[in-house]
Amino acid sequence: MAAPIPSPTGPAMPFVHRLREAVIAGLVAMALAVPFLGLRTVNLDQGLVVQANLAYVPLAGAVVFLGRLILGLLAAPLAKAAAPLATWRPPAGAQRLRPWGGPLLVLAAAALPFLPFANRYVIDLGTTALIYILLATGLNITVGLAGLLDLGFAAFYAIGAYTCALTTTQLHWGFWPALAAGGLASSLFAVLLSLPILRLRGDYLAIVTLGFGEITRIVILNWQGLTGGPNGVSGIARPTLFSLTFDRRAPAGGHTFSEVTGIAYAPEHRLIFLYLIILALTALAAYTVARLRRLPIGRAWEALREDEIACRSLGINPTMVKVSAYATGALMGGLAGCFFAARQGFVSPESFGFMESATILAIVVLGGMGSQAGVIIAALFIVVLPELARGFADYRMLAFGLAMILIMIWKPGGLLSGRLPTIRLSNAKPKPVAEAA
């Protein structure tokens, strides 16, 4: 059945070949369409009934045929047009502006809630995007820098969230101590989990992390006494600013932000405050990662990704390097989880399933592993795109899956795949006295 199909990227494929290829694609599409588009099983009172909409079958065939034909014809001219983009390098002067990129971006992001078009919806969306950026920044340490595939990152997210939920509701801690506890608990959990399994390599490690992710979710779901099971935990403490709340009325013995500042109460204030907190956390995390990459520990992470055997031959203990990567990544996951819990005021196990892990991983890989800018772009893409497609609510996840496949085929290394060196000899100060060894 596997008819020999010539490569679609062949330099000068005759039109007849392209046509033949498109016909085959169309026929396959028609075959695939029969059981799903052509026939539809419907639940009726008397049981299942199959409804036939066979008109969809040739329609699917035609769409695929035309799509394939047009893509095949356009591929070569498009590749030609895009060629200069691939080799484009920023001019030498731009190099010096690089360090300013991060701070400028943070300033711009901080200004967002005060812009005229910013409404509740925009601020909320920005907050969600920042949570994902923070999560992906953490996972990027494990996957992008240290090269350890982690399919259960949502577990760390969950542990941060539940630590926050439980410390604020059961122990009546405030948000800020709970935030610290959430990050630390996650980190500690990562150390405990990773120690026994670090001997495993590559995909085996990945599947074990997947197992841990699921175990965490199932335990949270079933440990009713502690976590409330599927009902979750509600009444989680809201963040405060120097113990000022953002409520309309002050709690007993406390004050509200509007009382003290004299600014009239507005419900948006809390949203803006939340947005600024997560922005600060994310900026801090991104800065920390950028610094860590230049430190021995960060270099060891990347070296481990490149060649574990060479690392050992230089006296680097791979276990410590891996544990530190997991722990640092988990710390950020935990902080994000804690913030998430406080923002919602409520957590339940369904927020931490495998799809959550997969989404965070997709951000890291789509962005280009190891790239902080890539993480930001990909997180915006993954959070904002489905929102834009709200009108097509039913189709947005379909489009999301399709987009993931297409981006990978288009740019297998991720959107920003280049690695920036952490140091340049040309920038380092030469030693004043040349005492050649």
Partner 1 sequence: MTEPLLDVQGLTMRFGGLLAVDGVDLTAERNRITALIGPNGAGKTTIFNCLTGFYKPTAGRLLLRHPTRGPIELQTLKGYGVARTGVVRTFQNIRLFPSMTVLENLLVAQHQALMPRSVFSLAGLLNLKGWRAAEEAAVDTARDWLRRLDLLAVADEEAGNLSYGMQRRVEIARAMSTNPLLLCLDEPAAGLNPRETRALAELLAGIRAEHGIGILLIEHDMGLVMDISDHIFVVDHGARIAAGTPAEIRNDERVIKAYLGEPDADDAAHAGGDAH
Partner 2 sequence: MGFTLAVGTFLQHLINGLTLGAIYGLIAIGYTMVYGIIRMINFAHGEIYMIGAFIAVTTFTLLLGAGVTSVPLALVIVLAISCTFTAAYGWTIERVAYRPLRTAPKLAPFISAIGMSILLQNFVMLTQGARSKSLPPVMTGGITLWHDGDFSLGLTNIQMFIILLTVALMAGFTLVINRTALGRAQRACEQDRTMAALLGINVDRTISLTFVLGAGLAAVAGVMVTLYYGVIDFYIGFLAGMKAFTAAVLGGIGSLPGAMLGGLLIGLIEAFFSGYVSSAYKDVAAFSILILVLVVRPSGLLGRPDIEKV
Query: Given candidates 11, 91, 225, 421, which one binds partner 1 under the rule CB under 8 A?
Result: 421
Residues near partner 2 (CB under 8 A): 1-2, 5, 28, 31-32, 34-37, 39-43, 47-50, 143, 149, 196-197, 199-201, 203-204, 206-208, 210-212, 214-215, 218-219, 221-222, 309, 354, 358, 361-362, 365-366, 369, 394-395, 397-398, 400-405, 408-409, 412-413
Around Cβ 304, how many Cβ atoms within 10 Å? 21
Beta carbons of 90 and 100 less than 8 angstroms apart: no
Q: Tell me the three state secondary structure of residue 383.
A: helix
* Partner from partner 2, partner 1, none contacting 143, C-beta within 5 to 8 A by type: partner 2
**DSSP state at residue 150:** -
Rule CB under 8 A: is residue 428 a binding residue for partner 1?
yes
Q: Using alpha carbons, select from 385, 339, 414, 373 the residue that is nearest to residue 106.
A: 373
Rounded to the nearest whole angstrom, what is the least distance from the CB of residue 5 to partner 2 in the complex? 8
Nearer to partner 2, 1 or 92 (CB): 1
Site membership for partner 1, residue 311 (CB under 8 A): yes
Among 342, 294, 296, 289, CA closest to 316: 296
Whole-number minimum distance, CB 284 to partner 1, in Å? 11
Q: Does 3 bind partner 1 (CB under 8 A)?
A: no
Q: What minimum distance in Å lies between the beta carbon of 199 and partner 2?
A: 6
Q: Which residues of 124-152 are buried (b: 16+ CB within 10 A; e: fewer)?
A: eebbbbbbbbbbbbbbbbbbbbbbbbbbb
- Look at the block and give the residue holding tokens 């290394």: 413
Backbone angles phi and psi of 47, in degrees to 5: 120, -165
Pairing between strand 255-256 and 244-245? parallel
Q: d(Cα 111, Cα 50) in Å, to the nearest integer?
A: 56
Contact 146, 321 (CB under 8 A): yes
Q: Which stretch binds partner 1 (CB under 8 A): 92-100, 310-318, 339-347, 373-381?
A: 310-318
Structure tokens at 400: 């999301």
Residues 146, 293: contact at Cβ < 8 Å?
no
CB 240 within 8 A of CB 257: no
Nearer to partner 2, 74 or 402 (CB): 402
Task: Answer with the entry of partner 2, partner 1, none that 429 interacts with (C-beta below 5 to 8 A by kind).
Answer: partner 1
Under DSSP, is residue 241 helix (H, G, I), strand (E, B) or coil? Answer: strand
437 binds, among partner 2, partner 1, none (CB under 5 to 8 A by kind): partner 1
**How far apart (Å, rounded) are the C-alpha atoms in residues 409 and 23?**
22
Contact by Cβ (8 Å): 356, 154: yes
Q: How far is the CB of 434 from partner 1 (least distance, A)?
A: 9
Q: Indicate whether 312 belongs to the interface with partner 1 (CB under 8 A).
A: yes
Single out the residue of 302, 400, 407, 413 in contact with partner 1 (rule: CB under 8 A): 302
Q: Which residues contact 308 (CB under 8 A, 6 or more apart)?
A: 318
Question: Which x/- pattern over 381-420 shows residues binding partner 1 (rule: CB under 8 A)?
Answer: --------------------------------------x-
Which of partner 1, partner 2, none does residue 422 bind (CB under 5 to 8 Å by kind)?
partner 1
Please give the residues from 317 up to 356 whose contact with partner 1 meets the rule CB under 8 A.
317-318
In the complex with partner 2, the residue whose CB is nearer, 263 or 355, is 355
Residue 313 touches partner 1, criterion: CB under 8 A: yes
Stretch that binds partner 1, among 337-345, 347-355, 384-392, 426-434 (CB under 8 A): 426-434
Closest CB to partner 1 among residues 29, 364: 364
Residues that bind partner 1 (CB under 8 A): 288, 291-292, 294-297, 299-300, 302-303, 306-307, 309-318, 419, 421-426, 428-431, 436-437
